[in-house]
């Protein structure tokens, strides 16, 4: 019988609520009429707001022994604290009707009929308005006569009405519905407040290169401003942001937007927040960083735009020779290395430092294997060439290359090589391993007594065979 009475009460509440507010904004909450201790149920709230836009908030109060977690935030910032459930929008969804929901966990010790109330607050024509959600009553466990008597006695013997009764709304000292509500300050505090000159500035490096990581500092002056606030920077593609010092806010990075959101902005008149940025290879070019700081002042949502920051990310210069050491590999005679001295790029062409006594030696085409040469010929694998120095951490982070990397200046380039081999075939095999890590244009380089020469000259000096 009690269950049906609760259902009837909830349905009447919905009908009366819809009829009273149908001409404008309407908000309806639904939940099961009965649950058991220790169970979980879902509260769904439907908002019909028409063309209403801008700041808004749903605030619901849960009975003791119940906790909430978001199910569908509908684009809002969700928070549960002090038995208060909040959905906060700096800008409402564009759809004329939408839904939000949250899950409620009931403690095993909860019994009796529990109320579920709330309100929807919004800003219209620069004035704060609010409407009450249709009240619900949820039966938790079996309701006995003793439970009902205890609940009635509690409600009739309280000399000071509790915060969630309508009586307290007429008291001007401490309005209950604004306790802990940092998003929309109460009407009797900020109505006469002087406007705050809010400013925000950002420290962003002017240039960088792929693989760099740096910290961005943002200083916000907000005076005595309180309540909800949000900072946002929009990152270009190839920029990856992560949390730094958020000053009590919640950091997130999604859809290239770095955000820090406060339910209650820090109390200091001025404070500095930070976040970290890592540059990926796709970040090359000149980019403009745009951001804004949103807040609520005198119940009116406001925002300021930060001065754009410009950063130039230098394009990383990888291997300059897109043609490896086997450019002319159309030959079918593997005993004679290809002659590509006229087509090789700068780092693989004939070098004036070649010892003259080695230049005229001719290969023996019939040789297939040779013991380690005694002339000091060695081979390495080049993985990169650039006009600036890149740390080994870049190669480790991007390609997983942990072996020792040799850096040399050659023909106006900074070149990076790995490995050291006496046999060309071993160097060739190592080149394939490096390519397997993502350095697809790696190639073999050759040296004689520590001086760079072409692979063809090294093969002739050491009388080794060329392999693809």
Mind listing the pLDDT tens digit for each residue in 190-225?
Answer: 444 556 789 999 999 999 988 899 999 999 999 988
Given this model, what pLDDT does residue 120 score?
A: 92
* Mean local confidence (pLDDT), 344-354: 39
Residue 286 CB-density burial (10 A; 0-12 exposed, 13-18 middle, 19+ buried): exposed
Confidence of residue 390 (pLDDT cuts 50, 70, 90): confident
CATH 2.60.40.740 in the chain, residues?
Answer: 199-313
Name the fold adopted by 346-462. Alpha-Beta Plaits (3.30.70)
Nearest to 326 by CA among 434, 447, 449, 431: 431
* Mean local confidence (pLDDT), 367-384: 65
pTM of the predicted structure, to 2 decimals: 0.39
Which residues, including other chains, have CB under 8 Å from residue 406's CB and lie 6 or more apart?
Answer: 380, 416, 417, 418
Contact by Cβ (8 Å): 58, 73: no
Given this model, what pLDDT does residue 360 score?
A: 40
CATH 2.60.40.10 in the chain, residues?
Answer: 2-181
Count CA atoms closer than 13 A to 403's CA, side-chain side: 14
How many CB atoms are closer than 10 A to CB 230?
19
| Tokens encoding 84 | 């208060």
Average pLDDT, the chain: 76
Residue 296 CB-density burial (10 A; 0-12 exposed, 13-18 middle, 19+ buried): buried
Q: How far, CA to CA in Å, does 346 sit from each of 118, 324, 380, 388, 454?
A: 74, 12, 17, 17, 11
Residue 373 CB-density burial (10 A; 0-12 exposed, 13-18 middle, 19+ buried): middle
pLDDT digits (tens, 9 = 90+) for 357-366: 443 443 333 3
Nearest to 133 by CA among 57, 23, 27: 27
CATH architecture of 2-181: Sandwich (2.60)
Given this model, what pLDDT does residue 386 score?
A: 83
Contact by Cβ (8 Å): 119, 131: yes
Helix axes 424-435, 455-462, angle to 10 degrees: 150
H/E segment holding residue 455: helix 455-462
Q: Residue 103 — φ and ψ, nearest 5°?
A: -100, 140
Given this model, what pLDDT does residue 410 score?
A: 85
Contact by Cβ (8 Å): 141, 34: no
* Mean local confidence (pLDDT), 99-112: 93
State the distance between the two ends of the chain, measured CA to CA, in whole angstroms.
Answer: 88
Confidence of residue 411 (pLDDT cuts 50, 70, 90): confident
Which of 26-30, 67-71, 391-395 has the weakest average pLDDT? 391-395
Rounded to whole angstroms, how far apart are CA atoms 447 and 381?
11
Rounded to whole angstroms, how far apart are CA atoms 257 and 275?
12
CATH 3.30.70.1070 in the chain, residues?
Answer: 346-462
CATH number belonging to domain 199-313: 2.60.40.740
């Amino acid at each position: 019988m009690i269950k049906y009475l609760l259902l009837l009460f909830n349905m009447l509440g919905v009908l009366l609520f819809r009829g009273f507010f149908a001409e404008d904004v309407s908000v309806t909450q639904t939940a099961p009429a009965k649950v058991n201790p220790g169970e979980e149920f879902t509260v769904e709230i439907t908002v019909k707001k028409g063309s209403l836009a801008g700041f808004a908030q749903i605030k619901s109060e849960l009975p003791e022994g119940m906790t909430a977690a978001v199910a569908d935030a509908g684009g809002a910032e969700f928070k549960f604290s002090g038995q208060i459930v909040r959905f906060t929008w700096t800008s409402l969804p564009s759809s004329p009707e939408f839904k939000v929901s949250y899950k409620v966990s009931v403690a095993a010790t909860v019994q009796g009929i529990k109320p579920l109330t709330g309100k929807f607050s919004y800003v219209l024509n620069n004035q704060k308005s609010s409407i009450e959600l249709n009240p619900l009553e949820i039966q938790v466990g079996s309701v006995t006569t003793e439970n009902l008597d205890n609940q009635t006695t509690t409600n009739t013997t309280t000399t000071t009405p509790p915060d969630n009764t309508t009586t307290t709304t007429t008291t001007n000292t401490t309005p209950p519905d604004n306790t802990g509500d940092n998003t929309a300050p109460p009407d009797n505090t900020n109505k006469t407040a002087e406007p705050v000159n809010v400013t925000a500035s950002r420290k962003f490096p002017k240039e960088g290169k792929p693989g760099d990581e740096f910290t961005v500092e943002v200083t916000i002056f907000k005076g005595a401003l309180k309540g909800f606030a949000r900072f946002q920077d929009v990152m270009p593609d190839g920029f990856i942001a992560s949390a730094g010092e958020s000053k009590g806010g919640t950091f997130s990075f999604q859809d290239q937007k770095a955000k820090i959101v406060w339910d209650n902005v820090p109390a200091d008149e001025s404070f500095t927040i930070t976040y970290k940025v890592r540059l990926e290879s796709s970040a090359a070019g000149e980019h403009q960083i745009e951001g804004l700081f949103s807040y609520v002042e005198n119940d009116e949502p406001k925002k300021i735009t930060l001065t754009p920051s410009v950063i130039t990310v230098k394009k990383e210069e990888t291997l300059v020779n897109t043609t490896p050491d086997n450019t002319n590999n159309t030959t079918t005679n593997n005993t004679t290395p290809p002659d590509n001295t006229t087509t090789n790029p700068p780092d693989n062409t004939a070098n004036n430092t070649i010892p003259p006594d080695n230049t005229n030696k001719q290969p023996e085409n019939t040789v297939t294997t040779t013991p380690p040469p005694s002339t000091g010929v060695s081979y390495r694998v080049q993985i990169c060439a650039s006009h600036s120095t890149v740390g080994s951490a870049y190669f480790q982070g991007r390609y997983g290359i942990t072996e020792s990397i040799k850096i040399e200046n050659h023909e106006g380039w900074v070149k990076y090589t790995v490995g050291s081999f006496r046999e060309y075939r071993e160097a060739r095999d190592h080149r394939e391993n490096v390519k397997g890590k993502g350095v697809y244009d790696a190639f073999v380089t050759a040296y004689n007594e520590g001086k760079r020469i072409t692979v063809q000259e090294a093969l002739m000096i050491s009388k080794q065979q060329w392999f693809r």
